[in-house]
Chains A and B, each alone.
Chain A
Amino acid sequence: MKLGVVSYDAIDGKHAFSWRRCDVRSRLAGLIVSIGLTGSAVSFAQAPAQGSQAPLPIPNLPRAADSVCPDSNPLAIHTCGLEHARSFKPPRTADGKPDFSGAWGGSQAAHENLEAHPKLPDDGGGPSVIIDPADGKVPIQPWAEVKRLENKARYIDQNAQCFQSGVPRHLYMGSYQFLQTPTNIVLLSEETNAVRIIKLDGSPHVGKDILLWQGDSRGHFDGDTLVVETTNQNGMPRLDQVGHFYTDAAVVTERFAMADMNTILYEATINDPFVYTRPFTMAFALRRNTRPGYELWEESCYEGEANSEHLRNIGYRNYPGFSSKDAQIAKEAYERSRAK
Chain B
Amino acid sequence: MKGIRLSVVSCRLSALGVGAFLGLAMPALAHHSLTAEFDTDRTVALTGTITEMKWTNPHAWLYINVKDDKGQVQNWAIEFATPNQLYRRGWAKDDLPAGAVVTVNGYASRDKALRISSLDVKLPDGRTLFAGTPTDQKP
Distance of A59 Cα from B89 Cα, bound (Å) = 9
By Cβ-Cβ distance, the 8 closest A-B pairs, closest first, are: A304-B56, A124-B135, A160-B32, A22-B92, A121-B40, A287-B139, A105-B139, A62-B139
8 residue pairs A–B, Cβ–Cβ below 8 Å: A60-B137, A72-B138, A109-B138, A157-B36, A174-B30, A285-B139, A301-B57, A313-B113
* Docked-complex contact B139 and A63, CB < 8 angstroms: yes
**B78-130 at interface with A (beta carbon < 8 Å):** 82-84, 87-94, 107, 109-111, 113, 115, 120, 127-130
* Docked-complex contact B90 and A313, CB < 8 angstroms: no
Q: Which residues of B contact A159 (CB under 8 A)?
A: 31-32
* Docked-complex contact B138 and A64, CB < 8 angstroms: yes
* Docked-complex contact B35 and A122, CB < 8 angstroms: yes
**B28 interfacial contact with A, CB 8 Å:** yes
**A303-320 at interface with B (beta carbon < 8 Å):** 303-307, 310-311, 313-314, 316
**A15 interfacial contact with B, CB 8 Å:** yes
Q: How many residues of A contact B (CB 8 A)?
A: 70
* Docked-complex contact B128 and A15, CB < 8 angstroms: yes
* Docked-complex contact B33 and A241, CB < 8 angstroms: yes
Q: Which residues of A contact B34 (CB under 8 A)?
A: 121-122
Contact pattern, A 231-247, Cβ under 8 Å of B = 1, otherwise 0: 00000000001000000
Q: Which of B19-27, B45-53, B66-74 contacts A (4 or more CB under 8 A)?
A: B19-27
B139 CB contact (under 8 Å) in A106, A112, A120, A304: A106
Q: Chain A residue with minimal CB distance to B82? A: A299
B89 CB contact (under 8 Å) in A8, A107, A311: A8
Q: Which residues of B contact A307 (CB under 8 A)?
A: 32, 37, 58-59
**A212 interfacial contact with B, CB 8 Å:** no
